[in-house]
Amino acid sequence: MILFIATLILSIFDPMISLIQLEYIVALDSYKQFSLAAEKCFVTQPTLSMQIKKLEEDLGIILFDRSKQPIKATDIGELIINQAKVILKETKQIDEIIQINKKTLVGELRIGIIPSLAPYLLPEFIGSFSKQYDGLEITIKEMLSEDIATALESDIIDVGILVTPYNKPGFNHSPLFYEKILLYCNADHNFANLQAIDIERMKKEKIWLLSNGNCFRNQVVNLCELKEDFDKTSFHYESASIETLIKLVDKEGGLTLIPELATRDLSKKRSAFVKPFKHIKPVREVSLITNRKFIKKRILDVLEQSIKTSIPQDLLNRERGDIVEWD
């Protein structure tokens, strides 16, 4: 323990090494590309590349084998990166200890949120949250679920807001709410006058889907029991956003599935074409997810409470439906 503390102190105060440099090498190790690592660290590629090169020169070692694609850490680089992860975590715990003692809430909060949630959930809470806790410097980035997991592992973000269950080990989940998965159809579709839809009838319909990488797409595929090799002539329509899917249904016909929060922005006329399912009540579980070494517990607690008080309270009920998995 004493050796570790000594290593930590020397690492922090060694003029050759900065915490920013440690963050950059951890990011590059995670994302394997300078451009992507820079994007995830919210800096330019030249800045990230220069800082990593300077660290290598100061230490007199090569951390990354740049001749390989994707970029790979050298043997000594891997050891340094593993220690960097420990140092970054332990350093942040100092701030948490101080804040608990002072009963304050200041610092940085970096949030990753999936695109199928961001436009519907963020406006409900982020304004009041940032005003109430004005000592927090909040950064939010839309990311796919797998990118959120990678960013959490690399300490690039503090917390993710995504759909669970997420079965990859090493993370803690705090369920927030449960929103229904509903069908949205064109006004001229043969479903338009029905009160509820039998899921079996959807398998031969033209369904507009989110693009690959979106967890909500996977939920639709699982719920409708579509196969990944499904008939491309029937199911070849893909989009990057739920809003686009809704507009495509309006203009081109067919149907799509949408999460419950997305229905709150629909006009009364459009809402008439939102349909529940017969015999089943599919929901998606939305959670906060953190790395198991996450130490900003007070910030997490107030974030969770702010989100839960900003949404319709019936969404908090775990018993309102059956969770559809995507992972």
Domains and CATH numbers, the chain: 2-99 (1.10.10.10), 105-177+286-318 (3.40.190.10), 178-283 (3.40.190.10)
* Contact predicate 48/56, CB 8 Å: no
pLDDT in tens, 266-305: 999 999 999 999 989 999 999 999 987 766 778 888 999 9
pLDDT in tens, 149-159: 999 988 788 99
pLDDT in tens, 66-112: 998 899 999 999 999 989 988 887 777 776 666 655 566 777 889 99
**pLDDT at residue 201 tops 80:** yes
* Contact predicate 184/258, CB 8 Å: yes
Q: Is the pTM of this model over 0.75?
A: no
Q: Give me the pLDDT at residue 156, please.
A: 84
Q: Give me the pLDDT at residue 191, please.
A: 95
- Per-residue exposure over 172-206, b if at least 16 CB sit within 10 Å of its own CB, e if not: eeeebbbbbbbbbbbeebebeeeeebeeeebeebb
Report the percentage of the chain scoring pLDDT > 70.
Answer: 87
Between 7 and 97, name the one with better pLDDT.
97
